Chains A and B, each alone.
Chain A
């Protein structure tokens, strides 16, 4: 088959054979990877600016307004446009698949990817056209500082973020409505039973019963472990959406009053209190959503790859419950450099409770590894390789953050490139995305009705380029942080030139890896198939792997 034929028609992909659930899943996945490309290009522009004046890049990118506009939308596009879409798309497929129940509403699922796509695009446009650049942290009162930023740009940006959050809330509603629907296998379950299972309480009670010599509380938990992780992570996603949405409303009120000629007093809002509130919510993305969703994904992937039960499942369920409490109490590690922050909050929330993330994530890593080990010998397939890559990513990234969540270390590392690269970028690019790539390869036959992948060779080239590039970029830029390079700062003289050149080379590997992955997917489904994914499904089924959608 010629290259052109593959490009247009794909291998053997037939979009007409897909049902509504498969199509809505693939729509979110397609948008996610398009946004990933955008975020990788943005990241590379910033890497090149940091290389210094010798970098082959137009001078306009060195202008502070332009540079910080890119820095503002980079995490919005990356976290919401790409990661949220991919995670939400995968979970809207997995929850019906694992619970053997139909998705509550395909219409809502369509609204989710559309709202997140439009919202992300609006935020991007606000930064591109009006150079609205308060960064994702939105530290009060910077987002309402109309002496630096355009009011119109601010309104467009905030409305964009609000649409993303509305999409997020709709996703949550859809997931909960599906989990708690008393149909199919859950026909005879009560809401209480489903709630107890959703919070992992049954796992904890099973452990207590075992220790006290009683029979198990529940031999067959109502919800599969990955669904428990999705439920648990979604609790944090909900709280996070509420916090970001309310912060957005606050900024919007100030901007609208400013536009009407009656500006409000920004000093009426306490900057430190706002910081606490905002970080409490925003940290739920990192410590609640990412860690819990990822742990659940590891458990699911390990069981699907090995075809065996998860090692120490009750402990894993109980750990998800523990992570719920931990994730709500760790936000002060972001405020260790804020001197008016009470010392006890720094000590308890910022240091001690945060340290428990080492325990919960270490536990997830251990359980996943042992589950794989017990099933050896295994074939090194792409899903297994990417899963191991994901484990490496979090194995590197979590301790990097725990080290900084310390009053002594934070004094010399806060706001440096250490945390954003050695922790955040390695956690997201390597840890989270390698896990998600594993899920993509596991779900690919299910979501595309066994479409043949264009090239296995391209899959492996993507794997190695991405893994080495992701770790390399995080490592070199992280080292620059140890040498004093600030994360939210513009360096125009190539002050950290050597490390930034190395980071840019590794970043280029990630960008090339993304392009190779994209080409492999496009050559598998073809441009016709790609367009077909966005056409209405003939088969309106909202489930996968069950005969009928009994109510």
Chain B
């Protein structure tokens, strides 16, 4: 059962076939959609889908206002393309606002994993710190087998930083904020994230939050917190997964 269509059809009781075809037409390769759950196995697939969907929307809204502007000035009465009842329009906005989250909850695997992360036993766990714009006690290199779920727990001794994994082409795998702070016993607060790796690759680590100019080389501007080729995922097939 396709979950996006389930989400939409629950709200509108539409026929499954037409939206299924539409989605299949715009989906970037690699995203499951036909006859099985629609899920995004990696952020790259999700962002490609997002790019296509938002571009279509942007062209649509610009065209609507342009059509509207043209017909505002014409003496002849414009023929309505579609009549939208006012409360139908309000219902559509609510459905889009809420339906968007229903869709992502079902189609993006890391959402439920994130919410339930304290009840999930990871395959591997790494805890390290950041202090004075330096990674402290961070493993030099991490190797992950395809399909493994890894917990990263990053703590800050001073400022707000970020923890993000990036592909070699610069695109983001995932990120989280790293807040400083201690509990009542003086133990540094955790900032943890679970991530399941389904694609081979070698990834860089960067701080995704600004923590002052000291994070960069004064003269060259090079990012001192960038760690190249920090994590490697292996054992996946070409299209992802084992």
Listed in ascending order, the chain A residues whose CB lies under 8 Å from chain B are 62-65, 67-68, 131, 133-135, 137, 139-142, 145, 147-149, 267, 270-272, 275, 312, 335, 337-340, 343, 351-352, 355-356, 358-359, 362-363, 366, 369, 372-373, 376-380, 384-385, 388, 391-392, 395-396, 399-400, 402-403, 406-409, 411-416, 422, 471, 475, 479, 482-486, 488-490, 492, 495-496
**Which 4 pairs from chain A and chain B are nearest by CB?**
A355-B97, A408-B108, A488-B210, A64-B216
One of A380, A395, A496 near B65 (C-beta < 8 A): A395
Bound form: Cα–Cα A414–B211 in Å: 16
Q: Are B62 and A392 in contact (CB under 8 A)?
A: yes
Q: Are A486 and B208 in contact (CB under 8 A)?
A: yes
B47 cross-chain contacts in A, Cβ below 8 A: 412-413, 482-483
One of A64, A388, A416 near B218 (C-beta < 8 A): A64
One of B46, B73, B100, B172 near A416 (C-beta < 8 A): B172
Bound form: Cα–Cα A142–B104 in Å: 34
A358 cross-chain contacts in B, Cβ below 8 A: 93, 96-97
B57 cross-chain contacts in A, Cβ below 8 A: 399
24 A–B contacts from the bound complex (CB under 8 Å): A64-B213, A65-B218, A67-B213, A134-B212, A139-B210, A141-B180, A145-B158, A148-B214, A270-B181, A337-B175, A339-B193, A352-B101, A378-B73, A388-B69, A395-B61, A411-B174, A413-B172, A475-B58, A483-B47, A483-B169, A483-B170, A484-B167, A486-B164, A489-B206
Q: Which of B184-235 contact A (CB under 8 A)?
A: 189-193, 206, 208-223
Find the residue from B75, B208, B214, B217 having the highest chain A CB count within 10 A: B208
Bound form: Cα–Cα A376–B72 in Å: 5
Q: For chains A and B in complex, what number of residue pairs have CB atoms within 8 angstroms? A: 223
One of B46, B62, B98 near A352 (C-beta < 8 A): B98
B125 cross-chain contacts in A, Cβ below 8 A: none
Q: Which of B52-81 contact A (CB under 8 A)?
A: 54, 57-58, 61-62, 64-65, 68-69, 71-75
Q: Are A148 and B212 in contact (CB under 8 A)?
A: yes
Looking at the assembled complex, report how far the CB atom of B79 sits from the nearest CB atom of chain A, in whole angstroms: 13
Looking at the assembled complex, report how far the CB atom of B56 sits from the nearest CB atom of chain A, in whole angstroms: 12
* A392 (CB) vs chain B CBs: closest residue: B65
One of A133, A379, A402 near B73 (C-beta < 8 A): A379
One of B46, B73, B89, B190 near A340 (C-beta < 8 A): B190
Bound form: Cα–Cα A355–B101 in Å: 9
* B99 (CB) vs chain A CBs: closest residue: A355
Bound form: Cα–Cα A484–B69 in Å: 36
Q: Are B51 and A482 in contact (CB under 8 A)?
A: yes
Listed in ascending order, the chain B residues whose CB lies under 8 Å from chain A are 43, 46-47, 50-51, 54, 57-58, 61-62, 64-65, 68-69, 71-75, 86, 89-90, 93-94, 96-98, 100-101, 104-105, 107-108, 110-111, 114-115, 158-160, 162, 164, 166-167, 169-177, 179-182, 189-193, 206, 208-223
Bound form: Cα–Cα A409–B175 in Å: 11
Bound form: Cα–Cα A352–B101 in Å: 8
Q: Are A339 and B191 in contact (CB under 8 A)?
A: yes
Q: Are A343 and B115 in contact (CB under 8 A)?
A: yes
Q: Are A267 and B93 in contact (CB under 8 A)?
A: no
A488 cross-chain contacts in B, Cβ below 8 A: 209-210
One of B50, B86, B98, B182 near A355 (C-beta < 8 A): B98
* A133 (CB) vs chain B CBs: closest residue: B213
* B40 (CB) vs chain A CBs: closest residue: A408
Looking at the assembled complex, report how far the CB atom of B55 sits from the nearest CB atom of chain A, in whole angstroms: 9
Given A366-B86, A396-B61, A407-B104; A490-B175 close (CB under 8 Å): no
Bound form: Cα–Cα A438–B37 in Å: 48
* B207 (CB) vs chain A CBs: closest residue: A489
Looking at the assembled complex, report how far the CB atom of B240 sits from the nearest CB atom of chain A, in whole angstroms: 16
Looking at the assembled complex, report how far the CB atom of A300 sits from the nearest CB atom of chain B, in whole angstroms: 18
Q: Are A415 and B175 in contact (CB under 8 A)?
A: yes
Q: Are A67 and B72 in contact (CB under 8 A)?
A: no
Looking at the assembled complex, report how far the CB atom of B230 sits from the nearest CB atom of chain A, in whole angstroms: 15
* B215 (CB) vs chain A CBs: closest residue: A64
Known interface pairs A271-B180, A482-B47, A488-B210; 6 further A-B residue pairs with C-beta atoms within 8 A, sorted by A's residue number: A142-B159, A148-B213, A378-B72, A400-B54, A414-B177, A496-B170
Q: Are A64 and B221 in contact (CB under 8 A)?
A: yes
Q: Are A65 and B72 in contact (CB under 8 A)?
A: no
Q: Are B114 and A407 in contact (CB under 8 A)?
A: yes
* A411 (CB) vs chain B CBs: closest residue: B174
* B157 (CB) vs chain A CBs: closest residue: A267
Bound form: Cα–Cα A471–B167 in Å: 28
B90 cross-chain contacts in A, Cβ below 8 A: 359, 362-363
Bound form: Cα–Cα A272–B156 in Å: 12
B212 cross-chain contacts in A, Cβ below 8 A: 68, 133-134, 142, 145, 148-149
A134 cross-chain contacts in B, Cβ below 8 A: 212
Mostly, the A contact residues are helix
* A339 (CB) vs chain B CBs: closest residue: B191
A392 cross-chain contacts in B, Cβ below 8 A: 61-62, 65
Bound form: Cα–Cα A408–B102 in Å: 11
Find the residue from B73, B89, B160 having the highest chain A CB count within 10 A: B160
B170 cross-chain contacts in A, Cβ below 8 A: 483-485, 495-496
One of B50, B180, B218, B220 near A267 (C-beta < 8 A): B180
Bound form: Cα–Cα A379–B69 in Å: 10
A484 cross-chain contacts in B, Cβ below 8 A: 166-167, 169-172
* B107 (CB) vs chain A CBs: closest residue: A408
Q: Are B221 and A62 in contact (CB under 8 A)?
A: yes
B206 cross-chain contacts in A, Cβ below 8 A: 486, 489
Looking at the assembled complex, report how far the CB atom of A201 sits from the nearest CB atom of chain B, in whole angstroms: 20
* A479 (CB) vs chain B CBs: closest residue: B51
Looking at the assembled complex, report how far the CB atom of B131 sits from the nearest CB atom of chain A, in whole angstroms: 12
* B51 (CB) vs chain A CBs: closest residue: A482
Given A135-B210, A377-B73, A484-B166; A409-B220 close (CB under 8 Å): no
B105 cross-chain contacts in A, Cβ below 8 A: 407-408
One of B159, B164, B210 near A141 (C-beta < 8 A): B159
A409 cross-chain contacts in B, Cβ below 8 A: 46, 50, 104, 108
* B58 (CB) vs chain A CBs: closest residue: A396
B222 cross-chain contacts in A, Cβ below 8 A: 492
* A306 (CB) vs chain B CBs: closest residue: B72
Q: Are A340 and B179 in contact (CB under 8 A)?
A: yes
B115 cross-chain contacts in A, Cβ below 8 A: 343, 407
A139 cross-chain contacts in B, Cβ below 8 A: 159-160, 209-210
Bound form: Cα–Cα A379–B171 in Å: 47
Bound form: Cα–Cα A249–B214 in Å: 25
Bound form: Cα–Cα A377–B69 in Å: 10
Bound form: Cα–Cα A496–B166 in Å: 14
Q: Are B50 and A338 in contact (CB under 8 A)?
A: no
A380 cross-chain contacts in B, Cβ below 8 A: 69, 72-73
Find the residue from B47, B104, B179, B209 having the highest chain A CB count within 10 A: B179
Looking at the assembled complex, report how far the CB atom of B102 sits from the nearest CB atom of chain A, in whole angstroms: 10
A489 cross-chain contacts in B, Cβ below 8 A: 206, 208, 210, 223
Q: Are B54 and A376 in contact (CB under 8 A)?
A: no
Given A339-B192, A388-B65, A495-B170; A373-B72 close (CB under 8 Å): yes
Bound form: Cα–Cα A339–B151 in Å: 13
